Structure 1
Amino acid sequence: MPTSRASRSYDGRVSPRAVIPRAALSIATVALVIGAISGCTVTPGNPAAGDPDSTGRAPGTAKEAAQQLDALTVAAPGSMRGYSRAKFPHWQSTGANCDVRDSVLKRDGTNVKTSGCNVVGGSWTSVYDGKVIDTPAQVDIDHVVPLANAWRSGASAWSTPQREQFANDLDDPQLVAVSQGSNRAKGDQDPSTWKPPARENWCEYAQDWVAVKSHWKLTVTSAEKAALADMLETC
């Protein structure tokens, strides 16, 4: 779940520096920063109880996700008229030569090696299909709620800065490192037509999907809601 949902407004205008006070930076975060500067190997530590885990999620329950799901507005999908990925600018800078893609690769990988801000080595296990990838260029950073799906469920009415924040959202469980094959198979589909091949990850995927749609106040279709409810039953 998000690190600090209360710190950001739903208009999406938030400074990445404002999300976590400097005094609250964890040892693991400091290690990542040092690693990026020195070009060394970065291995995420184990999170403390109640803190976000290595994928940016915090402990939650299926019951809480089900309550969030029930509160979402059910609506038919909107028109794709006017949609383009260019209306969701990404990847946003996160300082120096770093960008959001670098940040997710560092967060989700193990034994990550960097050269400046560039991730040049490491290992990533795709949560969608369980594949292990050891080449950064072969890792896709997926939007859990696809940009086109967001457009159909409310983002078409947002400003470009709002859509940019959505596309670069490191606060919520919206970005995840996955295999290229699984990302392309998913496309812009919702859980009623595509689910991760790794069934053991359905619970987490449904919780993440619901958390993002809840935070950004996006709608769901009736079929999407039913599929998410079924997936939460696997928790």
Structure 2
Amino acid sequence: MPSRPSLNAVVVGLLSALLAFVAVVQVRSQFEVERSLSGVDPTTLAFLIDDLHRANDTLARDAGALAARRAALQGGSNQEAAAQLNAEAAQLRVVEGLVPVHGPGVVVTVDAPLTPLDLQDALDNLRVAGAEALALNDQRLVTSSVINGDSEGVTVDGVSVRGPWTLWAIGDPTRLSSAADQMTRALRDDPRVHSAGYRAESDLVIRSTVVQRPFVYGSA
């Protein structure tokens, strides 16, 4: 069995990584929402601001809980630390998109020549509404995912994707449904859009995963 100092060091490191991830999500969500607010009508703007505040409150509570667990584990037993490590590692694998995930959520479908910025804004709206896992067509999305354009269309983390578009989001079904409804209503007013709709599911499954890239320069 690993020694207590070695195991606790791993646990503390993992929790520190989760805390850093929470901070990145909070800052990025604020930035992306601010970027997409131009031209938004007052009613939609009020909903977005309310959702952003609730998302930030949730992230702040999560950060506080993680910090408390990290402090508690520094003085805990090997068995307790190992159990907590397994739970946190499982959560981190979901957050990083390394394993399939299921739960309540929405599926948004859009038939339109959307740009990378259009897609990023749509995904950010779902994140602000509490999406815990996301996918675009067959590509799993995490905080570090990059949506760009190329000569033929859109790329997600370097992989070409084409419309029509299907966005999968797992999280609070009420908030996600509200966000999807507002988003698809706005999209249907866009002359580029042939169709836009969504459906809520009680047990949505996202099977796609992110391929974990090996460290080249870093080592444990």
- The answer to whether the superposition gives a TM-score over 0.5 is no
Name the structure where helix makes up a greater proportion of residues: 2
| Pairwise TM-score range, normalised by the shorter structure | under 0.3
TM-score normalized by the length of structure 1: 0.27
Report which of the two has the higher share of strand: 2
Q: Answer with 1 or 2: which has the greater Rg.
A: 2
